[in-house]
Amino acid sequence: MLHYKKNTLLCFFISFLLLGVSTNVNADHTYKTSIVKKVLPAVVEIHAERGNMDAAMQPKERGGFKFRQPKGQQKNAPQGRRSPKQDPQHVGSGFVISSDGYILTNAHVVNNIFDGGKLIVIFNNDKAYEADLINYDEESDIALLKINNAEHGKVFEYLTWGETPELGADVIAIGSPMGQSFSVTFGNVSSLNRFVPNSAPFVPFIQTDASINPGNSGGPLLDTSGHVVGINTMILTGRNTGVGAGSVGIGFAIDGDYVQSTVELLMTGEKIRRPYMGIVFRPVKEEDYGNLWKLHEYGYGAYVQEIVPGSPAEGVLMVGDIIRQIDAKKIKWKLLATKVKTKKIGDIAHFIIIRDGMVIPIEFTMGEMT
């Protein structure tokens, strides 16, 4: 009798555990689908129709990083609402950021536009609009569009910005990879503040293992509240991996905080002017500090290797200087360029440097990159 009761209790306990697991899985599924349903109406597929000039450029592969959707038709392409074979023009992704129809995407999605070309944005309900290219920044790979033929008084659903996610956080990528419209993938934040070879050295990226492929470019990377944390931009592929051109689980999205600051400049419609120092720098080694070696902290400080003649740094900084702080905050060497780009031309930054074994404060006036 006692043995029977023990077995009954054990079965009940196992059933309880399985029920709990099942409930958690269902809750997680429901949560994810609710987020996707909320954000999908603000995501668009972008068709960049070429004008008079033959813009059938091959996708740029720079150092193994694929920046564009592959050119040409794909044999036996999976059938979808709009396959690459049906739409030979360049296809990418984007998302609405305001109720009056402003859209963000990557600059490389739309830079095939020439005289007579046009941009078409398509929503997940198949509603299509023409859009104008308002402004773009090729260095940051960010472009701002605006829908130009919406119904009078039309109000668009739009996405809002989130905080920079933590390492390991869940993220969602939405876009139209390989012409497969409005695909949704899930992943994690693999790293923050990545700087990718052959991209601008001041643009910080979020690395993610959410599946991203050509055509995802310009689409949003979202947190689990449905807020934008980045713009999906590129994947590691090809020569560096030896596994072909598809996703290998290493994707990069431009950090949302950086994107927001760039959007403010793009909204002016003017060419972006960037501050400039005029130095070449590297990480600091312990021996660079000399008798102040105890100040060495791995990853912090930037060693000045070279001064560009005629630059703002000439006569202010010297080769061998170690930049320790900017505006009373310790600086990581790989974030120096990003920190500089948050300044305005003519701004005065307060540096703490180490020169010839002495800690020295200096004032540095930001010049303009030409």
Instruction: Show the tokens assigned to 218.
Output: 């310009």
Say if strands 61-62 and 322-326 run parallel, antiparallel, or are unpaired: unpaired
| 141 counts as catalytic | yes
Fill in the DSSP letter of residue 332.
B
Distance CA 240, CA 62 (A): 11
Instruction: Show the tokens assigned to 343.
Output: 């300044």
Distance CA 142, CA 272 (A): 11
3-state SS class at 69: coil
Question: DSSP H helical segments within the chain, as ranges?
Answer: 2-39, 107-110, 256-266, 336-341
Choosing from 47, 93, 108, 247, the catalytic residue is 108
Choosing from 90, 137, 141, 199, the catalytic residue is 141
| 327 counts as catalytic | no
Distance CA 121, CA 130 (A): 6
Q: Are 348 and 364 in contact (CB under 8 A)?
A: yes
3-state SS class at 345: coil
| 311 counts as catalytic | no
Paired strand residues for 275: 368
Distance CA 275, CA 304 (A): 18
Distance CA 335, CA 302 (A): 9
Q: Are 109 and 218 in contact (CB under 8 A)?
A: yes
Instruction: Show the tokens assigned to 7.
Output: 């077995």
Choosing from 47, 217, 255, 321, the catalytic residue is 217
Count how many Cα atoms sit within 13 Å of the Cα of residue 320 in the half-sphere of its side chain: 7
Give catalytic residues, as residue numbers: 108, 141, 217
